[in-house]
A and B are shown apart, each in its own frame.
Chain A
Amino acid sequence: MKQLLLLSGKGGTGKTTVATCLIQLSQAKAYADCDVDAPNLHLVLGTFENHSTKPYYDLPKAVIDPDLCTECGLCHQVCRFDAITRNPYQVIPHLCEGCTYCAHVCPSEAITLEETVAGTIELHTRSDETFSTATLKMGSGTTGLLVTEVKKQIKDKAKFAILDGSPGIGCPVIASLTGVDLALMVAEPSLSGISDLQRVIQSARQLHVPACVIVNKSDVNEELTGRIRRYCNEEAIPFLGTIPYDKEAIAAINSGQSLIERGGPASEAIRAIHHKVMKELEAL
């Protein structure tokens, strides 16, 4: 299965909007929302016939039994995550990373590790299409593991899959990049956007994932769009086109409609980009 992942470094550059259009234009049969911290793709894909959900378990977290605790303080001393309070001795669940050090040092066996539900993994299907997404429970960490679970659900469901990524370059991005064939970077023509683009491209390089670049809202700052194009040329990164700022994009999101069906300059630009992206994928 060939997998295309959309990333951007900076948030709000238009990953989800472009992903939605590409899913439609390529008639992708498998797709996933890897932005488990703030998922949105489900809002614009229409309705699905079948749904299945399963709980996502975080690493088990420490729990102190007050009846067995002798208040010796060892657990508090060894915890590197400041997750154990004193007086009374308690674990702060959202700070506990489940390492089990405290349980190993506790002389009175007062600490056990308990599984906690940290989110829900969802699978939606209609005819031959499969959509995988997830929601993270408030105050849970370990988003990288959840991204890996989301990706597993569509593995080998089709010949081609599109994955919508998250902003940043941390664990969810690393988890989403692992094993994909091509990363499409949706950049924005701002100094912030350029700095973020360069960092996410380096992240992809470290994981040996080839990247290509498009610029969204390119007419907001043509000079910086030109700078991104030159940067791509210098770094031998395929530059696949630009998308102008278009109010239709907002209207499409808010009406739950496809930007492709609404038409307009952004829609036209994405059609052209779609052809180039598919060529890049085929060439791999």
Chain B
Amino acid sequence: MKIAVLSGKGGTGKTLVSVNLAAVADKGGYFDCDVEEPNGHLFLKPSLIGEEEVTSLKPVVDMDRCDGCKVCVTACVYKALAYIPGELMIFDEICHACGLCTYLCPQQALKETKRVIGTIRRGGRGSLSVHTGKMRIGESTGVPIIKKLLKKLDDDLSIIDSPPGSGCLVLETIEHADYCLLVAEPTMFGAQNLALVHELTRVMNKPAGVLLNKVEDGLNPSELYAKEHDLKILASLPYDSYAALESSNAELLVERSEKYRTFFLELLKEVVDEATLAAQR
């Protein structure tokens, strides 16, 4: 069972929900796909088992061979190459590593070498494995890191902590999920972005349910959205200054409070049941 936790809007509680679900499950794997700003490991404090670099390819030029024909410059749709007399400039951070320039070069002046774009740390916490991807600062895309990170998905139980937004990184994380748990805030902003990710799960044909987080008295636009759009509300968590303080210190609520332990055990069961039902349909 592979469960992706998403929200569209940032800061709604994806990581809080993901790490507490993973901690009560005490099996399977937790995968932090927010490779730009990974935080799950701060809560789960895993013992480090292994670290590997994630590399991408980049073209390098042999100026003794380059005759300045500019075939590569013209062909690159990302504009990652520029030629000034005597020098071919290659902009690594813009390069998508597609390999076209190297293939096309009539002088075979380009070849590809590896370049580090991030790291993956794999660790453990009891019977739970903890996988964290981290992008090097200045890189434009973490997609290859997520791809590599998710190669170790555990079919039994995987909690996939997604990045915010609804762009390419999020698509990559949902791709592998059996079920999407959406975490929403009780604001118009929360509802607006909930609608975006809900739409995304529909486009990708993934079953989904919502957890309403930081609920306060009064209007909850996210709740209204869910009710109007046939999106199942799995649970509601009221705003709690105790939980806010504990979580700001990267403490696991399920370890600090029996109430939260019960809540997350029930949520885990509910999510797994929902995902199982959806798989049968």
The chain A residues found within 8 Å of chain B, CB to CB, are 8-13, 16, 35, 37-38, 40, 43-44, 59, 78, 80-81, 94, 97-101, 104-105, 136, 138-144, 166-174, 188-193, 195-196, 199-200, 202-203, 206, 220-221, 224, 247, 250-251, 253-254, 256
Contact = CB atoms under 8 A, between A and B. Distances in A.
Given A11-B11, A78-B103, A136-B166, A206 B137 contact: yes
A8 B10 CA distance: 10
Contacts of B140: 144, 170-171, 174
Interface in B1-45: 8-12, 15, 34, 36-37, 39, 42
The majority secondary structure among interface residues of chain B is loop
B98 A80 contact: yes
B95 to A, nearest CB: 10
B103 A170 contact: no
Contacts of A11: 9-12, 164
Contacts of B68: none
Nearest to A143: B167
Contacts of B247: 190
Interface stretch (B150-158, B186-194, B252-260, B271-279): B186-194
Contacts of A35: 165
Contacts of B248: 188-193, 220-221, 224
Interface string B67-108: 000000001011000000000000001001111100110000
Contacts of A59: 77-78
A195 B37 contact: yes
Given A168-B165, A170-B141, A202-B137, 15 more contacts: A11-B164, A37-B165, A81-B98, A99-B98, A138-B166, A139-B171, A168-B34, A168-B163, A174-B140, A189-B248, A190-B247, A192-B37, A195-B39, A199-B36, A199-B137
21 contacts: A10-B39, A11-B12, A12-B185, A35-B165, A38-B9, A38-B165, A40-B9, A80-B98, A94-B171, A100-B77, A141-B167, A166-B164, A168-B37, A170-B142, A171-B140, A174-B93, A190-B248, A192-B248, A196-B37, A220-B241, A247-B216
A29 B199 CA distance: 33
Contacts, number: 184
- What is the size category of the interface that chain B forms with chain A? 35 or more
A68 to B, nearest CB: 21
Contact of B99 (A80, A195, A200): A80
A141 to B, nearest CB: 4
A104 B100 contact: yes
Nearest to A43: B188
B1 to A, nearest CB: 24
B96 A99 contact: yes
B124 interface: no
B200 A104 contact: no
Nearest to B217: A247
Given A78-B103, A247-B216, A253-B187, A9 B98 contact: no
A192 B250 CA distance: 7
B244 interface: yes
B196 A221 contact: no
Contact of A169 (B10, B137, B168, B192): B137
Contacts of A38: 8-10, 164-166, 192-193, 196
A192 to B, nearest CB: 4
Point out which of B10, B163, B192 has the most chain A C-beta atoms below 10 A from its C-beta. Answer: B10
Given A94-B171, A247-B216, A40 B193 contact: yes
B100 A100 contact: yes
B126 interface: no
A16 to B, nearest CB: 7
Contacts of A141: 167-168, 171
A170 B203 contact: no
Nearest to B241: A220
A203 B96 contact: no
Contacts of B218: 251, 254
Point out which of A37, A136, A169, A195 has the most chain B C-beta atoms below 10 A from its C-beta. Answer: A37
